[in-house]
């Protein structure tokens, strides 16, 4: 018997003998690259896939997309994509990749700062570029992730990182995608893992007042600083300024809320203060579609690998949430349920939503949009990522089928035009022990 | 009301002798237990005749009028003729009153002291094992508790020691109040050492973890202790110790249980030792009635049932109702049906006032709840029996109490009416011939027109209404035409038979407040009064005969009561709650045709194939046209795929209520997961809906040698928990290595239990196997001839009869266990998780049947850093049998996708990959002769998928187990509709109550209601989802653009058709 390697990369010559954490990052070549003859899934809203199409990119940007034959300048490296598919790189909207290595070890946890209100802490600065978790996600086509702080009432600033880079600065695609907070409630949270504990009414009021006071203080601070630039700098309030109405490039508040009460009160409150809001969780969001649309509040669905809310709920309740939400016209994207080592399974959560949502009109294209275009838009990187369009970043996948299907093979991936290594620690261990059994004669060598 | 409280016989008469007295009648104060009198002895009245009452002599007997004679504490005669009592009896006039036998409380917990500090002579090593305790050593229930029971009508109480597993023996004591004279009466002990009181107590998983930490550990301890007591009964030279009270196997085991499932567990335990079981239950017996019936048919089982009714859940807001599960709603509505249903199932149940939650009034709410149960159909005579004759017989005191018969104790209840009626008051409870006054008869109403004559001359009329409000008027006053006679308000105060009236006399002449105070006797009043100026006068009054009134229509209040829907329909099925199954599906004869059949056998995958099923077995598999089609169900599976039922070799579903881990000791081989099977969790159903048909239910990984696993089929709706068990499966046991067993992640307090290192893990395992080897060599006995259940299980491993399923991660520990297996000469079943098995495939291949691992889990703790998703495929390639498991109720719903990961990460063929969740785990669990492939002769455990089962975008459509269709999209749809309508009904019912909205008849009266569409998915108009619809604001319409109702999540039929037509 022999074991096939999933990564029989034959299209491009590239070294993949070492784990990513031991190899240099991908490099943007000094020549254009064209993938030709492939089906190009641009993921542009409403656009059909381009059969027999090509993508041309140079200096990290897409310079042309089209159908049929085209002449390329002589230096262009041509990748024959016949029978293959090109997709934008997958984007996992809410994770904590880079902030945690082994969750069970305290020294390896950098996602939850002490205290209740800490808008000043920034996720991107704590991202460990050499985390073994990052290349493992990348091997499955996840090329960008939102990395979110957690804990307390206001957790800190979410970042978006590319899963390749020498430093966290290289990797940063958006240093502040919004400030993460959780909405307090007297009711217990989602019953699945991580469901919040119920609070007393007094405790909820106290928290809500604390939030309101925080914004009042931030506005006063802004005015004070404007009137008198020598006003002492307060890092916490400084971090709040980007959220306030009237500021250029106003940042969203990313509020974790699953149930109808939380979503309703969070959105109503935020709208009253002129804030931009993203709801993260959104189990009951389909019930509040009109409210969400009225205030243009998008939803980050936290995966479908969750239990139904109640014992009597439909068994596929969590699986059909994307389909039910999509049908309402609310803007949304899909994040993985697991925020660490299982982020790589994001496309299969999207696929499950198709398996159970087809009857509601939810198809593979909708599912792909939820982990590419919509995720990019909601994370504030839509100008560069999420679709394949001329002028946008050449962050894309070359596969033999839809990324939603388990058996699909990923042959190559590019981030900002640089081809990235698809090996990782796990492939190195695979090769090491396969070699052991080759030598023992338990596994035949490949020819 | 007659002056019934007067004892009309003079003391002198009592000194004479009685013609009625039984010769043996003994004065209750003639007792060796009482002291000499302090001063002259006081004569006590000891002969009573309760005359003229309605006597309910025994439950089930017609009441009759007569006289009850009590002498010296006992009933000496029940006289139906009702002649004049002879001299010497204190006569109690019981005319218009009812006499019942006083009640018997069968279970009342008292704090009994521990028998000795740990380690003191004769004590058991486990502080929860104290069978030698006695309830009589306990603090006597205090006066408040005693009078509380008496107020409810109880005359005797069986007290039981509280706390512990073996709690000690119970005893029956009298509730008579002792005399305050040392020479006076002392209440009786009617019977000591009635039974052994027990509970499956455990320390839980809190900070004070002591063996047992789990219910299954507790059960294992009970089993071992009963075995030890049996052994001890055959030994000589042991005078007495903790186990001595357990030696007599004729003593019933009384189990105090909090749930109906525990009742079944307790009954099974008693049956295992051939002992009688008395179950002090939960009030939820109706939720597992058939299983209890089955238990009772196989053994001796008596149920003592409390009246526990859950508090009504709050559902006023949408958020509240959204947070409430249907099971909670159903339990609220159905609890009052419990007694009737238990009785109807053939149990002569016994009632107890214990366990009434304080949130609903505690014990004092007993009669109210009992009345509710009677309104829900529980028979009054059964209620009476359940409080008198039955507990008396259960406690072995039926010669003394339970009926009103000569020879029995003078224990009676005197009431104003039938005892379970709402308006009835308990006046007295007689215990041992002593009268305990409980209630007052309701003071007679003063309602009516009273003509008063003040100072013999002045007439005033006092009109008193039903609510006791008074109005004074002057009948003699002349009133001009068209004017009303003046009146004034009179305030009334009543103390016993004295009535005081205050009123302003101004309208009648003299201004100022008059006061009248008189004694009322029937319709007359006589008294004195005073004018404002202080001048006193006498007055008299008489009540006028009421005018004949035309019967009025019933008041509004009555009308509301009439509107009451009456008792609800019984909700049943198993498990109780949503998705319950009324009847286990029939075993079908059927053929699935036109399918892609993944046989997972030499026959490979057959495109255009068929599978035939009969009598629970697969009877044929083939290609093309099937042979048998006449008169059988044919499922045309065009475009669909059929696989064997999926097997999950690592599950903890249904273990949470009994505990997943017995963490109290490093070695707990005696613990059995099968003792605490819980068929209730809806996660069983959810996994079934994902195609899982067989699971290996494993003990957790808290200790190197854990408990015995149980293999189960996902027979959702099983009547008895053990119906889930896979028949005659090879026994197994959980072992565990690494971080969990050395308590690495338990917190800083847990650093002293051996082992704390992987070195110690090996040592303790080898040590126990050496002990087991000796045990086996000694004929499966300890040196003293005892059976040791822990060593027995380990010896079975050595004999090859029990398979180890070993939680493990790192290659060093995996290799270690392989070497231990080599040393002791057995084959390991599986390495569970075994995430580094891929590093030592050659050893695993040789020493274990296989590796049952996660497809792609890693990085969640230190010892899984090197886990890789390529591990399974590498092991497979190296010749190891591999299965993928879930270890998660959530993941278990999509095991087909897990198998696909073997293709993704190892390039396996689909036929090889599907083995990871079918035949391979079957081989690992040694059940491959029954399940795991589609071959003639095997169990008909089959799944029909919408498409390729290894596609992420396929879903499960039908699941068969034993040839029974346990899941299908159609039945799931029916469940959803039933759930939606039941939720609607119950939430509406509660919401009306809580929002105090009037009852409204649906469909009656208004046109609007008549036009209301009955289909919840009707596109127009409000739906019968009622409240849901208007809160959701979509008025019952489908969520825009979707075909699923956003309110209830029910899949409409169109959707079902659509997905069936699409084919995947």
Which DSSP helix (H) or strand (E) runs through B174? Answer: strand B171-174
Interface A–B counts its CB contacts (< 8 A) at: 208
pLDDT category, B485, cuts 50, 70, 90? Answer: confident
- Chain A residues with CB inside 8 Å of B839's CB? 433, 436
> How would residue B541 be classed by pLDDT, with cut points 50, 70 and 90?
very high
Cβ atoms of B1008 and B1021 closer than 8 Å: no
Residue B319 to residue A316, Cβ atoms within 8 A:
no
Q: Where residue B717 falls among pLDDT bands split at 50, 70, 90?
A: very high
Question: Which two three-digit tokens encode residue B816?
Answer: 């270690």
Quote the pLDDT of residue B360. 64
Among B251, B157, B262, CA closest to B216: B262
Angle at B23 between CA B22 and CA B26, to 5 degrees: 85
Tokens of B958: 């039908």
B966 interface with A at CB cutoff 8 Å: no
Measure Cα distances from B723 to B114, B543, B711, B727 in Å: 39, 73, 11, 9
Per-residue pLDDT band for B478 (boundaries 50, 70, 90) equals confident
**Which spans in B1012-1052 are helix H?**
1027-1032
Q: What is the pLDDT of residue B205?
A: 65
Q: Which of A232, A259, A262, A121 is nearest to A180 (CA)?
A: A121
* Partner-chain contact A307 B890, CB within 8 Å: yes
More confident of the two residues B881 and A207: B881
* DSSP structure class, residue B15: T
Residue A61 β-bridge partners: A58, A393
- Choose the mutation target among B315, B742, B859 for the interface with A, i.e. most A CBs under 10 Å: B859
Pairing of strands B47-55, B90-93: parallel
Position B868 scores a pLDDT of 97
How does residue B565 score in pLDDT terms, banded at 50, 70 and 90?
low
pLDDT digits (tens, 9 = 90+) for B983-1006: 999 999 998 888 776 654 433 333
The pLDDT tens digits for A197-247 are 567 788 888 888 999 999 999 999 999 999 999 999 999 999 999 999 999
CA distance A157 to A154: 9
Q: What is the mean pLDDT of residues B225-233?
A: 97
Here the tokens at position A372 are 């590419």
Report chain B's mean pLDDT, rounded to a whole number. Answer: 87
* Of B618, B616, B612, B609, the residue nearest B637 (C-alpha): B609
For residue B783, the Cα-to-chain-centroid distance in whole angstroms is 43
Q: For residue A409, report the phi and psi dihedrals to the nearest 5 degrees.
A: -100, 135
Residue range B619-664, pLDDT digits in tens: 999 999 998 778 899 999 999 999 999 999 999 999 988 889 999 9
Is the distance from CB of B148 to CB of B364 less than 8 angstroms? yes
Answer yes or no: do A311 and B1039 touch at CB < 8 A: no
Distance (Å, whole) CA A419 – CA A31: 13
Taking an 8 Å cut-off on Cβ atoms, the answer to whether A407 and B869 are in contact is: no
| CA dihedral (B949, B952, B954, B955) positive or negative | positive
Q: What letter would DSSP give residue B663?
A: -
Q: How far apart are CA B662 and CA A253, in angstroms?
A: 45
Strand partners, A182: A256
Q: Residue A447: its pLDDT value, please?
A: 60
> Which chain B residues in 318-357 lie under 8 Å from chain A, judged by CB atoms?
318-319, 322-327
% of residues, chain B, pLDDT over 90: 70
Output the CA torsion sign for B756, B762, B768, B770: negative
Residue B1005 is predicted with a pLDDT of 34
d(CA A218, CA A234): 10
Q: How far apart are CA A332 and CA A326, in angstroms?
A: 7
- Is residue A398 within 8 A of residue A412, CB to CB? The reply is yes
Judging contacts by C-beta atoms under 8 Å, the chain B residues touching residue A424 are none
Is residue B628 within 8 Å of B637, Cβ to Cβ? no
Query: What is the mean pLDDT of the segment spanning B382-406?
Result: 98
Contact B842 A442 (CB under 8 A): yes
For the ranges B489-498, B513-522, B859-868, the one whose mean pLDDT is highest: B859-868
Rounded Cα distance between B901 and A399, Å, is 17
- How distant is the Cα of A78 from the closest Cα of chain B, in angstroms? 27
Contact B1059 A317 (CB under 8 A): no
Q: Å from B943 to nearest chain A CA?
A: 16
Q: Which residue has the higher pLDDT, B239 or B1043?
A: B239
Q: All domains of chain A, ordered by start, with CATH? A: 102-382 (3.20.20.140)
Residue A120 has pLDDT above 90, yes or no: yes
Tens-digit pLDDT profile for residues A356-377: 999 999 999 999 999 999 999 9
> Which residues 6+ apart lie within 8 Å of B30 measured at CB?
none
Query: The sheet that has B277-280: what strands, in order across it?
Result: B166-169, B195-198, B252-256, B277-280, B301-306, B350-352
Evaluate if pTM is beyond 0.80: yes
Tokens found for residue A347: 């496309």
Average pLDDT over residues B458-478: 87
Q: Find which of A132, A195, A315 to mutate to test the B interface (most B CBs within 10 Å of its CB).
A: A315
- Which residue of chain B is at minimal alpha-carbon distance from A358? B1059
Q: Which two tokens stand for residue A269?
A: 């409150």
Q: Which of B53, B55, B46 is nearest to B20 (CA)?
A: B46
| CA B877-B880-B886 angle, 5° bins | 100
Helix axes B326-334, B969-995, angle to 10 degrees: 60
Q: Do B319 and A290 touch (CB under 8 A)?
A: no
The share of chain B scoring above pLDDT 70, in percent, equals 88
- Provide the shortest C-alpha distance from residue A28 to chain B (in Å): 29
Mean pLDDT value of segment B862-876: 97
Whether the pLDDT of residue A13 is over 60: the answer is no
Residue bearing tokens 């300048």: A73
Among partner residues A132, A324, A347, which is closest to B1046 by beta-carbon distance?
A324
User: What mean pLDDT is predicted for residues A113-132?
Assistant: 96
- Residues B905, A101: C-beta atoms closer than 8 Å: no
The pLDDT of A395-421, averaged and rounded, is: 97
Which of A8-12, A263-267, B938-942 is modeled with the greatest confidence? B938-942
Q: Above 80 in pLDDT, residue A322?
A: yes
Q: Is the pLDDT of residue A10 over 80?
A: no
B165-174, B354-363, B848-857: least confidently modelled range: B354-363
What pLDDT band is residue B1009 in, cutting at 50, 70 and 90? very low
- DSSP letter for B1008, please: H
> In the prediction, which pLDDT does B37 show?
79
- What is residue B979's predicted lDDT score, i.e. its pLDDT? 97
Amino acid B316: pLDDT = 81
pLDDT tens digit sequence for B308-344: 999 899 888 888 888 899 999 999 999 999 999 999 9
Q: Which residue has the higher pLDDT, B1018 or A174?
A: A174
pLDDT level of residue B769 (50, 70, 90 thresholds):
very high
Which of A95-104, A401-410, B34-43, B227-236 has the least mean pLDDT? Answer: B34-43
Calculate what percentage of chain A has a pLDDT beyond 70. Answer: 92
Q: What is the 3-state secondary structure (H, E, C) of chain A?
A: CCCCCCCCCCCCCCCCCCCHHHCCCCCCCCCCEEEEEEEECCCCCCCCCEEEEEEEEECCEEEEEEECCCCCCCCCEEEECCCCEEEECEEEEEECCCCECCCCCHHHECCCCCCCECCCCECHHHCCCCCCHHHHHHCCCEEEEEECCCCCCEEEEEEEEECCCCCHHHHEEEEEEEEEEECCCCCCCCCCCCCCCCCCHHHHHHHHHHHHHHHHHHHHHHHHHHHCCCCCCCHHHHHHHHHCCCCCCCCEEEEEECCHHHHHHHHHHHHHCCCEEEEEECCCHHHHHHHHHHCCCCEEEECCCCCCCCCCCCCCHHHHHHHHHHHHCCCEEEECCCCCCCHHHHHHHHHHHHHHHHHHCCCHHHHHHHCCHHHHHHCCCCCCCCCCCCCCECCEEEECCCCCCCCCCEEEEEECCEECCCCCHHHHHHHHHHHHHHHHCCCCCCC
User: Residue B277: its pLDDT value, please?
Assistant: 98
Cα dihedral value B70, B73, B74, B76, nearest 10: -30
């Amino acid at each position: 018997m022999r074991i096939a390697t999933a990564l029989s990369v034959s299209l491009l010559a590239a070294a993949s003998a070492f784990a990513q954490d031991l190899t240099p990052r991908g490099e943007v070549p000094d020549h254009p690259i064209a993938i030709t003859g492939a089906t190009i899934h641009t993921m542009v809203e409403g656009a059909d896939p381009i059969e027999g199409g090509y993508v041309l990119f140079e200096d990290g940007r897409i310079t042309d997309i089209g159908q049929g034959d085209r002449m390329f300048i002589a230096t262009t490296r041509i990748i024959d994509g016949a029978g293959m598919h090109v997709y934008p790189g997958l984007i996992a909207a809410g994770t904590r990749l880079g902030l945690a290595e082994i969750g069970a070890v305290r020294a390896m946890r950098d996602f939850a700062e002490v205290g209740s209100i800490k808008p000043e802490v920034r996720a991107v600065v704590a991202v460990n570029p050499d985390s073994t978790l990052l290349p493992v996600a990348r091997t499955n086509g996840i090329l960008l992730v939102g990395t979110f702080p957690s804990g307390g009432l206001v957790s800190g600033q979410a970042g978006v990182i590319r899963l390749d880079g020498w430093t966290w600065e290289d990797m940063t695609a958006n240093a502040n995608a919004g400030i993460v907070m959780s909405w307090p409630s007297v009711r217990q949270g989602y019953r699945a893992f991580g469901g919040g504990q119920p609070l007393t009414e007094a405790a909820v009021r106290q928290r809500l007042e604390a939030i309101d006071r925080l914004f009042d203080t931030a506005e006063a601070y802004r005015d004070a600083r404007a009137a008198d630039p020598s006003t002492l700098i307060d890092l916490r309030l400084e971090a709040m300024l980007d959220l306030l109405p009237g500021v250029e490039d106003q940042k969203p508040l990313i509020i974790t809320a699953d149930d109808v009460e939380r979503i309703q009160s969070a959105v109503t409150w935020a709208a009253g203060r002129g804030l931009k809001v993203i709801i993260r969780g959104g189990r009951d969001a389909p019930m509040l579609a009109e409210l969400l649309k009225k205030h243009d509040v998008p939803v980050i669905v936290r995966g479908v690998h969750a239990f139904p809310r109640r014992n009597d709920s439909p068994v596929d309740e969590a699986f059909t949430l994307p389909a039910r939400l999509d049908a309402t016209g609310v803007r949304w994207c899909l994040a993985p349920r697991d925020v660490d080592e299982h982020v790589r399974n994001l496309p299969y959560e999207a696929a499950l939503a198709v398996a159970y949502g087809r009857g509601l009109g939810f198809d593979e294209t909708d599912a792909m949009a939820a982990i590419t275009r919509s995720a990019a838009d909601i994370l504030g990187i839509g100008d560069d990522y999420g679709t394949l369009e001329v002028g946008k970043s050449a962050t894309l996948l070359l596969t033999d089928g839809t990324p939603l299907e388990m058996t699909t093979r990923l042959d190559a991936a590019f981030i900002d035009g640089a081809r990235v290594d698809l090996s990782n620690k796990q492939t190195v261990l695979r090769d090491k022990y396969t070699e052991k059994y080759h030598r023992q004669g338990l596994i035949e060598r490949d020819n | 009301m007659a002056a019934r409280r007067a004892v009309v016989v003079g003391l002198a008469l009592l000194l004479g002798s009685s013609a009625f007295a039984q010769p043996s009648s003994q004065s209750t104060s003639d007792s060796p237990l009482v002291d000499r009198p302090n001063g002259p002895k006081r004569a006590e009245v000891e002969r009573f005749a309760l005359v003229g009452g309605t006597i309910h002599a025994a439950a089930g007997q017609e009441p009759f009028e007569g006289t009850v004679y009590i002498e010296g504490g006992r009933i000496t005669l029940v006289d139906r003729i009702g002649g004049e009592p002879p001299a010497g009896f204190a006569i109690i006039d019981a005319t218009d009153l009812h006499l019942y036998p006083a009640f018997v409380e069968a279970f009342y917990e008292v704090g009994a002291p521990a028998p000795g500090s740990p380690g003191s002579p004769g004590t058991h090593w486990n502080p929860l094992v104290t069978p030698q305790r006695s309830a009589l050593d306990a603090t006597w229930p205090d006066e408040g508790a005693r009078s509380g029971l008496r107020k409810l009508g109880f005359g005797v109480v069986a007290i039981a020691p509280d706390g512990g597993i073996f709690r000690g023996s119970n005893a029956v004591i009298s509730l008579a109040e002792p005399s305050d004279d040392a020479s006076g009466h002392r209440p009786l002990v009617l019977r000591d050492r009635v039974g052994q009181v027990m509970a499956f107590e455990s320390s839980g998983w809190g900070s004070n973890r002591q063996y047992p930490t789990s219910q299954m550990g507790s059960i294992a301890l009970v089993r071992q202790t009963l075995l030890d007591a049996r052994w001890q009964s055959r030994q000589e030279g042991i005078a007495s110790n903790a186990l001595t009270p357990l030696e007599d196997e004729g003593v019933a085991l009384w189990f105090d249980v909090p749930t109906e499932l525990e009742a079944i567990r307790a009954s099974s335990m008693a049956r295992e030792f051939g002992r009688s079981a008395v179950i002090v239950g939960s009030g939820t017996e109706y939720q597992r009635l058939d299983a209890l019936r089955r238990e009772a048919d196989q053994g001796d089982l008596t149920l003592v049932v409390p009246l526990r009714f859950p508090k009504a859940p709050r559902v006023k807001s949408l958020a509240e109702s959204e947070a409430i599960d249907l099971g909670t709603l159903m339990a609220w509505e159905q609890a009052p049906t419990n007694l009737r249903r238990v009785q109807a199932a053939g149990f002569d149940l016994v009632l107890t006032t214990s366990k009434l939650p304080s949130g609903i009034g505690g014990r004092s709410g007993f009669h109210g709840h009992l009345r509710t149960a009677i309104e829900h159909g529980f028979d009054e005579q059964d209620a009476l029996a359940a409080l008198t004759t039955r507990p008396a017989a259960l406690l072995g005191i039926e010669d003394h109490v339970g009926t009103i018969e000569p020879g029995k104790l003078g224990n009676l209840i005197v009431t104003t009416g039938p005892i379970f009626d709402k308006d009835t008051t308990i006046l007295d409870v007689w215990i041992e011939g002593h009268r305990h006054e409980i209630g007052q008869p309701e003071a007679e109403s003063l309602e009516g027109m009273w003509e008063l004559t003040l100072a013999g001359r002045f007439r005033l009329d006092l009109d008193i209404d039903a609510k006791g409000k008074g109005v004074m008027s002057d009948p003699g006053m002349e009133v001009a035409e068209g004017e009303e006679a003046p009146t004034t308000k009179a305030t009334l105060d009543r103390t016993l038979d004295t009535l005081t009236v205050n009123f302003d006399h101004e309208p009648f002449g003299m201004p100022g407040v008059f006061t009248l105070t008189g004694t009322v006797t029937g319709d007359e009043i006589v008294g004195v009064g005073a004018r404002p100026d202080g001048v006193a006068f006498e007055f008299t009054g008489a009540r006028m005969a009421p005018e004949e009134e035309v019967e009025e229509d019933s008041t509004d209040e009555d009308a509301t009561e009439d509107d009451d829907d009456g008792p609800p329909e019984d909700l049943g099925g198993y498990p109780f709650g949503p998705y319950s199954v009324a009847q286990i599906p029939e075993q079908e004869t059927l053929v699935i045709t036109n399918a892609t059949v993944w046989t997972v056998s030499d026959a490979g995958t057959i495109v255009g194939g068929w599978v035939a099923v009969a009598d629970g077995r697969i009877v044929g598999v083939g290609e093309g046209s099937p042979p048998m089609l006449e008169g059988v169900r044919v499922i045309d599976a065009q475009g669909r795929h059929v696989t064997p039922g999926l097997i999950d070799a690592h599950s903890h579903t249904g273990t949470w209520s009994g505990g997943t881990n017995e963490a109290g000791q490093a070695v707990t081989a005696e613990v059995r997961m099968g003792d605490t099977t819980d068929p209730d969790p809806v996660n069983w159903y959810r996994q079934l809906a994902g195609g899982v048909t067989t699971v290996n239910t494993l003990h957790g990984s808290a200790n190197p040698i854990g408990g015995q696993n149980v293999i189960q089929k996902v027979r959702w709706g099983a009547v008895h928990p053990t119906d889930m068990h896979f028949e005659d499966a090879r026994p197994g046991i959980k072992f565990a290595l690494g971080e969990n067993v050395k308590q690495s992640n338990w917190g800083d307090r847990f650093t002293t239990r051996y082992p704390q290192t992987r070195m110690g893990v090996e040592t303790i395992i080898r040590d126990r196997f050496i002990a087991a080897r000796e045990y086996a060599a000694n004929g499966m006995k300890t040196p003293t001839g005892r059976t040791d259940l822990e060593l027995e299980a380990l010896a079975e491993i050595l004999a090859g009869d029990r398979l180890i399923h070993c939680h493990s991660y790192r290659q060093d520990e995996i290799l270690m266990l392989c070497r231990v297996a080599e040393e002791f000469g057995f084959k390991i079943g599986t390495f569970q998780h075994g995430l580094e098995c891929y590093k030592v495939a050659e050893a695993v291949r040789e020493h274990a049947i296989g590796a049952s691992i996660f497809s792609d889990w890693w990085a969640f703790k230190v010892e899984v850093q090197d886990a890789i998703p390529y591990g399974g495929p590498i092991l497979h390639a190296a010749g190891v049998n591999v299965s993928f498991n879930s270890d998660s109720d959530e993941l278990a719903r999509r095991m087909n996708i897990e198998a696909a990961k073997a293709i993704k990460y190892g390039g396996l063929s689909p036929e090889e990959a599907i083995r990871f969740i079918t035949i391979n785990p079957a081989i690992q669990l040694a059940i491959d002769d029954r399940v795991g492939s589609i071959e003639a002769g095997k169990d008909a455990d089959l799944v029909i998928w919408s498409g390729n089962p290894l596609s992420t975008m396929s879903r499960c459509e039908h699941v068969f187990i034993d040839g029974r269709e346990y899941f299908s999209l159609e039945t799931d749809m029916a469940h959803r509709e039933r759930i939606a309508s039941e939720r609607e009904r119950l939430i509406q019912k509660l919401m009306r109550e809580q929002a105090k909205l009037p009852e409204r008849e649906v469909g009656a009266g208004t046109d609007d209601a008549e036009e209301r569409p009955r289909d919840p998915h009707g596109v127009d108009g409000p739906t019968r989802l009622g409240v849901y619809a208007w809160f959701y604001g979509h008025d019952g319409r489908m969520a825009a653009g979707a075909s699923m109702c956003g309110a209830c999540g029910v899949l409409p039929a169109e959707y079902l058709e659509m997905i069936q037509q699409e084919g995947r």
